[in-house]
Amino acid sequence: MWQDLIETLDKLGEVYDKLATLGEKKRSALVVINMKGLSDILDEEQLLTAKIQKLEQRRIEILKGLSKSDKSLTVDTKAKDFYRTAPDAAVEKKLLALHDRLSKSVDNAVKIRDNNRVLAQCALDAVQGRLNKIGGAAVEPTYSGKGAGVVTHKKNFDFKA
């Protein structure tokens, strides 16, 4: 089972690296507001997140199986402490290296995701502004009771036509 854990952690690291690479592509698509490219990237992202979910479930199953053999392990046992209970030093070293790699990959993917969220919001604001300009909307110099700007629309189009 230890070898299964090594393989699962390795695959998780690979998938998170792919997710980070995809996040970089997503950033480029968001900057130029390439909606077709963004749609393709989102489809790929969904596949990768589904893989991550399956691998995480597998990792949890393996950890539960391994923890049954050692009664000193509890739910609160940290991953690095758990890996130190490996049958030999080579397995322990490999698990600790994979754990560090996975942590860095996850942190990188999360950082890229957070940056992309900001870009996505900016892209949506740009699209909203453009739609407002086309529709003849104007923002009043006052705020609504909820703190949002008051937007008025002059009628440029007859939508009932």
Predicted pLDDT of residue 128: 75
Catalogue all structural domains in the chain, each as residue range(s) with its CATH number: 2-135 (1.20.58.300)
Tens digit of each residue's pLDDT (9 = 90 or more) over 52-107 = 999 999 988 888 887 777 777 766 778 887 777 777 888 889 988 989 999 999 99
Q: What is the mean pLDDT of the chain?
A: 82
Question: Which residues fall within 8 angstroms of residue 86, CB to CB, at 6 or more apart?
Answer: 2, 92, 95
Pull the structure tokens for residue 69: 């053999």
pLDDT band at 140 (very low <50, low <70, confident <90, very high): low
Strands (E), the chain: 137-143, 149-153
CA dist., res. 53 & res. 16, Å (int)? 11
Between 2 and 132, the more confident residue is: 2
Query: 55 near 13, Cβ under 8 Å?
Result: no
Average pLDDT over residues 105-130: 86
Q: What percent of the chain has pLDDT over 70?
A: 80
Beta-bridged to residue 149, according to DSSP, are: 143
pTM of the model: 0.73
Pull the structure tokens for residue 16: 């998170």
Predicted pLDDT of residue 44: 94
Residue 161 has pLDDT above 60, yes or no: no
Pull the structure tokens for residue 17: 């690296």
Residue 83: Cβ within 10 Å count: 21
